[in-house]
């Protein structure tokens, strides 16, 4: 498993903590994450908070448009680890 | 002596189970202390006490499921400890608690007018001093039968007597009922849906709503938030919701006709703004949690309250007072919802705000078109209490606060 796959597994786990019913195995990694999983702004903030705690990578508000999908989010974290 | 009873958290709750007692006999408790965690269809709710005193007896055991209004514990009030009052008798199954229960008003998915709804079980009315309702005889039941009934989702309290000693229900009785009616009982989400249906039907029937809507510029608030949030970690950031909620709460202090309860043909405004936040639950349905004294909260505190409350609503652990005391409600579909929402008032409240999603539109200022970030805010209010003119002034007042977010911090 490469680093990005490990990151995807981690982010998936963190999403499931917030949205236990999310069907992660059905999620297209390039689709809009929040749209697909019905995450509201509070959920998304909680997700970024747990990502910051787990990985140390802080996504500022100005970069929200760069982390729309699971793929782009994990790429974003990967580059900054 | 005060008997603590199984509290109601809304019309959609018939029963609750004590999951954990936080106190034991002999413990001293003060107003606001959490004495028990109660499992409801809405998740775990923390039950508080409203008095100071000493717990003298726990009547309900952990794991026991009880109907609303049933005694669960006895509390010796501090101000009567020195007297020689004899403790009151605990009501038996056949009698109702004739003692003081929670006196706060159950709002939103409940209300006294539920009495008219014969089809929906009237589970919202906590019996108070004056209002006692007859209760059918509840059959006795053996522990094994009780366990089996729970396993099968059978409400044994609704059954006739069984074949055991003194008419007690036994395992065979429960199995026989199951074989006759093997279909499953209604799920919590069905019950919640029924309760919402009952409340909104009653509201639309009884309350003459009027609706107003105003598009409000968010550019100032967005700019202010961008600067404020720039260097903060995610859990310290303020969302636009907090700014909107604060603006509403501040404005309401000058408009008491929208913040209070209409009961028995009479309106009473509330001294403080307990802002009900309608929270959608992932399993379906919604609950309204009150942000107490919202008019006094700065943006940071408001954000902390909202975050904490939404998380607890979804994971369990809301407090009883949060479930019962909202004086006005905000319904917010969030940033992925629709452009606007016209909501239905939750009786006995008299107003509800609907917040659409933040969106960018062409906006004209001084005959020049530019891009602007706006939100459409609606107000549904009770025409028995206020008129559209006053409602429009309230929306404009909220708008003024929104344009100066720095005054809300």
Q: What is the pLDDT of residues B132-165, one digit of tens each?
A: 334 456 778 887 888 788 777 777 777 877 888 8
Distances in Å between the alpha carbon of B9 and those of B24, B83, B263, B320?
24, 33, 19, 7
Beta-bridge mates of residue B263? B266
| pLDDT tens digit at each of 81 positions of chain A | 468 889 999 999 999 998 888 888 889 999 999 989 989 888 999 999 999 999 999 999 999 999 999 999 999 999 998
A-B Cβ pairs (cutoff 8 Å, strict): 48
Return d(Cα B264, Cα B348) in angstroms, integer.
10
Minimal CA separation from A3 to chain B, in Å: 24
Are residues B233 and A41, on separate chains, in Cβ contact within 8 Å? no
Partner-chain residue, chosen from B229, B310, B335, that has the shortest CB–CB distance to A61: B229
For chain B, what's the residue count?
A: 409
**pLDDT for the residue A2:** 64
- In sequence order, which residues have a C-beta less than 8 Å from that of residue A61 and are 6 or more positions away? B226, B229, B230, B237
**pLDDT for the residue B186:** 65
Which band of pLDDT confidence, cut at 50, 70 and 90, is reported for residue B104?
Answer: very low
Q: In terms of CA atoms, which chain A residue is nearest residue B306?
A: A42
Residue from B226, B223, B216 nearest B353 by CA: B216
Question: Where is pLDDT greater, at B156 or B260?
Answer: B260
Q: Are B300 and B409 in contact (CB under 8 A)?
A: yes
- The residue to which tokens 């629709």 are assigned: B338
Q: CATH topology for A3-80?
A: 1.10.1200
Q: How does pLDDT run across B64-92, given as a tens digit for each residue?
A: 888 888 889 999 988 775 544 444 444 44
Chain mean pLDDT for chain B: 82
Return d(Cα B182, Cα B180) in angstroms, integer.
6
Q: Is the pLDDT of residue B115 over 60?
A: no
pLDDT (mean) for B350-373? 95
Least confident range of A46-60, B10-24, B207-221, B247-261: B10-24
**pLDDT for the residue B113:** 38
Residues 37-76 of A with CB under 8 A from B: 38, 40-42, 45-46, 48-49, 52, 58-62
- In sequence order, which residues have a C-beta less than 8 Å from that of residue B300 and are 6 or more positions away? B238, B409
**pLDDT for the residue B162:** 82
Where do the domains of chain A lie? 3-80
Beta-bridge mates of residue B354? B331, B378
Please give the full DSSP string across B248-264, using - where no structure is assigned: HHHHHTT-GGGSEEEET
Are residues A46 and B311, on separate chains, in Cβ contact within 8 Å? yes
Are residues A61 and B230, on separate chains, in Cβ contact within 8 Å? yes
Q: Is the pLDDT of residue B106 over 60?
A: no
B226 touches A at CB < 8 Å: yes
Q: Is the pLDDT of residue B116 over 50?
A: no
Full set of structural domains in chain B with CATH: 2-116 (2.40.50.100), 208-407 (3.30.559.10)
- The residue to which tokens 């726990």 are assigned: B58
Are residues A45 and B307, on separate chains, in Cβ contact within 8 Å? yes
């Amino acid at each position: 498993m490469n680093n990005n796959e490990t990151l995807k597994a981690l982010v998936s786990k963190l999403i499931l903590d917030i949205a236990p019913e999310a069907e992660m195995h059905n999620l297209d990694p390039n689709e809009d994450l929040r749209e697909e999983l019905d995450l509201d702004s509070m959920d998304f903030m909680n997700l970024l908070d747990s990502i910051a705690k787990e990985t140390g990578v802080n996504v500022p508000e100005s970069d929200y448009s760069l982390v729309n999908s699971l793929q782009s989010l994990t790429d974003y974290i990967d580059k900054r680890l | 002596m005060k008997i603590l009873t199984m509290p109601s958290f809304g019309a959609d709750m018939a029963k609750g189970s004590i999951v954990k007692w936080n106190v034991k006999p002999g413990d001293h408790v003060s107003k606001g202390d959490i004495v028990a965690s109660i499992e409801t269809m809405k998740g775990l709710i923390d039950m508080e006490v409203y008095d100071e005193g000493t717990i003298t007896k726990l009547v309900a055991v952990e794991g026991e499921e009880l109907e609303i209004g049933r005694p669960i514990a006895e509390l010796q009030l501090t101000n009567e400890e020195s007297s020689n009052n004899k403790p009151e008798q605990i009501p038996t199954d056949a009698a109702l608690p004739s003692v003081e229960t929670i006196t706060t008003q159950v709002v939103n998915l409940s209300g006294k007018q539920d009495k008219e709804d014969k089809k929906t079980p009237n589970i919202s009315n906590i019996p108070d001093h004056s209002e006692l309702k007859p209760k059918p005889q509840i059959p006795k039941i053996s522990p094994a039968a009780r366990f089996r009934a729970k396993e099968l989702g059978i409400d044994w309290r609704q059954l006739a007597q069984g074949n055991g000693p003194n008419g007690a229900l036994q395992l065979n009785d429960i199995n026989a009922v199951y074989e006759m009616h093997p279909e499953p009982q209604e799920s919590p989400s069905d019950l919640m849906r029924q309760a919402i249906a009952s409340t909104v039907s009653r509201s639309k029937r009884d309350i003459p709503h009027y609706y107003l809507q105003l598009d409000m510029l968010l550019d100032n608030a967005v700019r202010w938030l961008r600067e404020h949030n720039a260097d903060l970690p995610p859990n310290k950031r303020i969302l636009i919701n907090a700014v909107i909620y604060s603006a509403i709460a501040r404005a309401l202090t000058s408009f008491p006709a929208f913040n209070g309860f209409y009961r028995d043909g009479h309106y009473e405004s509330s001294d403080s703004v307990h802002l009900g936040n309608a929270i959608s639950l992932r399993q379906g349905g919604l609950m309204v949690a009150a942000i107490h004294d919202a008019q006094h909260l700065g943006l940071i505190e408001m954000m902390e309250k909202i975050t904490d409350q939404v998380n607890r609503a979804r994971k369990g652990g809301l407090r009883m007072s949060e479930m019962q005391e909202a004086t006005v409600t905000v319904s917010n579909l969030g940033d992925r919802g629709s452009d606007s929402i016209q909501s239905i008032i939750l009786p006995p409240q008299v107003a509800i705000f609907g917040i659409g999603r933040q969106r960018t539109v062409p906006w004209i200022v001084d005959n020049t078109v530019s891009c602007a970030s706006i939100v459409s805010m609606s107000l549904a209010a009770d025409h028995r209490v206020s008129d559209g003119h006053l409602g429009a002034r309230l929306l404009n007042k909220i708008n003024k606060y929104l344009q100066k977010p720095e005054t809300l911090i």
